[in-house]
Amino acid sequence: MNAADASAVTYARLRATDPDRWLATALTWRRWAALAGALCTEFGDLLNRLRGSWSGAAAEAALATLGALRRRAAYFRVVCWRADQALSEFGAALRRARALLDRAGATARGHGLKIDDYGTVHGHPGTDEAVRAVTGALSSALAVAAEADRTAATRLTALAELASPPAPATFPPCTAPPDEVRRWWEQFSPAERTWLLVASPAAFAGADGIPIADRDIANRLLLDDARLELDRMRTAGAGPGRVRDLRDGLDRLTARLAEEGAPRAYLIDLGLDGEGRAVVALGDPDRSAHVLTHVPGMTSDLKSLGGELTRAERVAVRAGELGPAEPASAVLWLGYDAPDFVHEAASDRQARDGAAELIRFQEALRATHEGGPAHQTVLGHSYGSLVVGEAAAAGGLRADRVVFVGSPGVGVDSVSELRFPADRVWSTTSPTDPIQFAVAPRDVLPDGRKHLWFGRNPSEPGFGAHVFASQFDAGHLGYWDRGGPALDALARITLGGAP
């Protein structure tokens, strides 16, 4: 088939495809994984039951056999998730391709052009430029669809490989840089990686340098353990309110992970220490051209994760609408202990601690990205902007842009004090955001303006960042309201453009 014929076939397929049907197929795999999870739990119950009625050498042999079968059930569960991941990304890509196709169709209609059943654009005298524009948009749509098809087919075909468990491996030290971890992981075949995840999910769940899709699987495998850990905490006398909040947060997170539609959620990290923390991506960042890392502020915890996740998701969805030619992903990064109370938020200690983790996470995103590096944007909201500011000031922050939203100061008074290119720093503060009145009682800047709690307001011209507008009535949380200028600006910055 020559290139023109191939394009014509892809065009016909794309026109006849409902991307949501593929997302529904992905969901069916996810539900199959849930069924496999229930079977794994039952396996565990049966093993415990057998231990109660039988012991000795023969019993140990039977338990070992059943244990091996249980691991095969877990392997099957992981296969289901891998298919779910591949098809979710395929469905999302087809959605973008269809958006480009619809855009081309609208442009053609606007200029009185006709697109025939083979995807060829027919114009009339004087419409050459419009024909070129429509043809370009069509080509872009077909390229997105064809590439997505190739990638998904390759990933799914690999699932048929049924390797034996690899020999026990020596893991890289926990201080190993992410690119070293990635190289170590790549020595194994996909099936061997699946066995490693089944055998030792805890070793990989939080390991920077392990691909995001694999960390998602490891963390999903550990969700049941997290629930058991909450039971243990309650038995051990942990505060009932804290345990209840963690359980509520975990339930909501689990519900989001099972949710239908795009973008698919990837659980990159989960912790029950303190009020709980989690890192969740919407869309696979390793396969996205644009990746936004959203760092939330004070009082962020596992229980409140849903609201922050919605904010991050809105940027990812809007970026997909504005720039459908390339995939965009948003990561909610609650990988630090955010302040819970005002007296904690008055200190930069937690931001400094979080900055080191954020730097490593951004390095990990670079290390695990498929192909060339993604365009990475790091956004800090409220106290989260201090975390981002501390990371940018420390140097070594692997990002293309940083964005401060509703900031109480970012630890420095000028972009020149950041070890980050000044022309890649953006900031916004709504006129109704009370954060700008959180002034420090002690300092007045040379230009007579007051310090905010952690330095000069980065949205003031004197700071030197690119300042972009947000809606007047945004307050402290309304920057992500649909239809507002701030959300569009955040999406455009994420895509590498200007607000």
In sequence order, what are the residues at sequence separation of 6 or more whose Cβ sits closer than 8 angstroms to the Cβ of residue 183? none
Contact (Cβ atoms closer than 8 angstroms) between residue 218 and residue 87:
no
31 binds other proteins (CB under 8 A): yes
Nearer to other proteins, 75 or 204 (CB): 75
443 binds other proteins (CB under 8 A): no
Interactions with other proteins, residue window 66-95 (CB under 8 A)? 66, 69, 72-73, 75-76, 79-80, 83, 87, 90
Q: Rule CB under 8 A: choose which of 49, 114, 232, 244 binds other proteins.
A: 49
Q: Rule CB under 8 A: choose which of 42, 147, 225, 260 binds other proteins.
A: 42
ω into 125 cis (within 30 of 0): no
Contact (Cβ atoms closer than 8 angstroms) between residue 263 and residue 310:
no
Nearer to other proteins, 4 or 64 (CB): 64
At closest approach, how far in Å is the CB of 468 from other proteins? 39
At closest approach, how far in Å is the CB of 81 from other proteins? 11
Question: Taking the mean position of all CA atoms in its chain, how far away is CA 470?
Answer: 24
Interactions with other proteins, residue window 158-197 (CB under 8 A)? 159-160, 162
Stretch that binds other proteins, among 63-71, 134-142, 325-333, 424-432 (CB under 8 A): 63-71
54 binds other proteins (CB under 8 A): yes
In angstroms, the CA 499 to CA 495 distance is: 10
At closest approach, how far in Å is the CB of 437 from other proteins? 54
Q: Rule CB under 8 A: choose which of 1, 56, 125, 461 binds other proteins.
A: 56
In angstroms, the CA 284 to CA 373 distance is: 14
Q: What is the DSSP pairing of strand 265-271 with strand 328-334? A: unpaired
Residue located via tokens 């069924």? 35
Nearer to other proteins, 133 or 143 (CB): 143
Nearer to other proteins, 145 or 467 (CB): 145
Q: Which residues of 452-471 are buried (b: 16+ CB within 10 A; e: fewer)?
A: bbbbbbbbbeebbbbbbebb
| Site size with other proteins, rule: CB under 8 A | 51
Residue located via tokens 């239809």? 483
Residue type at 396 in one-letter notation: G
DSSP assignment of 307-333: HHHHHHHHHHHHHHHH-TTS-EEEEEE
DSSP SS3 for 207: coil
Q: Rule CB under 8 A: choose which of 114, 150, 244, 419 binds other proteins.
A: 150
E strand map for 317-373: 328-334
Residue type at 458 in one-letter notation: P
At closest approach, how far in Å is the CB of 212 from other proteins? 21
Contact (Cβ atoms closer than 8 angstroms) between residue 208 and residue 269:
no
Q: Rule CB under 8 A: choose which of 1, 2, 3, 53 binds other proteins.
A: 53
Q: Which residues bind other proteins (CB under 8 A)?
A: 12-13, 16-17, 21-22, 25, 28-29, 31-32, 35-36, 39, 42-43, 46, 49-50, 52-59, 62, 65-66, 69, 72-73, 75-76, 79-80, 83, 87, 90, 149-150, 152-157, 159-160, 162
